[in-house]
Amino acid sequence: MNNKFKMCVVALSLLLACTTLSMAQQINPIEGRWDMVISQEGEELPSWLEIRHSGSRTLVGRFVYAMGSARPISEVKMQDGKFSFAIPPQWEDGNSYMEFEGSMTGDVLKGTMLYTNGKTYNWVATRAPKLEYTKNPKWGKPIKLFNGKDLSGWQAMGENQWIVESGVLKSPRSGSNLVSEQKFRDFKLHLEFKYPKGSNSGVYLRGRYEVQITDSKGAEPSDVEYSGVYGFLTPNEVVAKAAGEWQEYDITLIGRRVTVVANGTTVISDQIIPGITGGALDSKEGEPGPLYFQGDHGPIEFRNIIVTPRID
């Protein structure tokens, strides 16, 4: 009996190994994370797509459009070498679903999007880079990105409403976003900010990943509230101060890994950002990018903007 039992265990182990190998061989080449560009009304809109297995037969995913947060894809359907999925509108006008179709050529996805306005637009996607993590990087000298006097080193994305008063960078009303002229890859950021009651802003790391700034005192932790990485990463707790008080973020970004310290408390620790967030400047994740401040969601003030870049 003992020998028979051993033989059964060996046979079962072989069966499980073969099953695992079989499932691994069934991985669809479209699975993974993809940096997208949608050609829409004369603009190249950055977007993002993730496709993965759910169980052994179903493909699911997530999608980030040029605005809004990451949206779940309940099923990615495959037929005749093409794939398709549909998602309901989030911030878009109309009630129609956004319908996507695509296929793979080489290591590139291409296809069409039927938008909520009934028009069809083309899109293309390339595999998102891994963005390797280094545990103990070498840091350079801190760079003061805001001189406290004027907007030198910054550009408004449209008609400018940003002003400088008493050493403070201010957007007194909703208007254009503000982008730094310098670009960075891996860095540490110190940032102080203040907002009035009910206001909303954000700081985009490399111009692609938004850390939310919003009047959230007393709110439950959420990936769309204070100190969350918009639509992706939820802080452990909300440590927002009352509106009208100066607050601070200390953020470290290495590869895809981010740590967010809000008002002295670590609320996100060494977590992976899957992809770009809504409102990103582009979807070129492998390239350095600027800082940019959201100025189109309400009044906001900043001071002591200091970046320490990685130099190794």
Give yes or no: residues 176 and 282 share one domain: yes
At a CB cut-off of 8 Å and minimum separation 6, what does 267 contact? 221, 227, 235, 236, 237, 238, 239, 260, 261
pLDDT at 299: 97
CATH number at residue 84: 2.40.128.120
Spans in the chain with pLDDT lower than 70: 1-25
53 class by beta-carbon count within 10 Å (0-12 exposed, 13-18 middle, 19+ buried): middle
pLDDT at 100: 99
CATH number at residue 243: 2.60.120.560
**Quick check: is 4 in a domain?**
no
195: left (phi over 0), alpha (psi -120 to 50) or beta: beta
Give yes or no: residues 266 and 215 share one domain: yes
Tokens of 221: 């932790």
Cβ atoms within 10 Å of 275's Cβ, excluding its own: 25
Confidence (pTM)? 0.90
pLDDT at 12: 54
pLDDT in tens, 259-274: 999 999 999 999 999 9
Give yes or no: residues 250 and 181 share one domain: yes
pLDDT at 13: 54
pLDDT in tens, 241-299: 999 999 999 999 999 999 999 999 999 999 999 999 999 999 999 999 999 999 998 99
Phi, psi (rounded to 5 degrees) for 180: -75, 145
Structural domain ending residue among the three candidates 127, 162, 191:
127
Round to whole Å and give the CA distance between 310 and 293: 21
Round to whole Å and give the CA distance between 292 and 177: 7
Domain that holds residue 192: 143-309
Tokens of 131: 């963005």
Structural domain ending residue among the three candidates 127, 161, 182:
127
Phi, psi (rounded to 5 degrees) for 193: -150, 160
Give yes or no: residues 272 and 207 share one domain: yes
Number of structural domains, the chain? Answer: 2
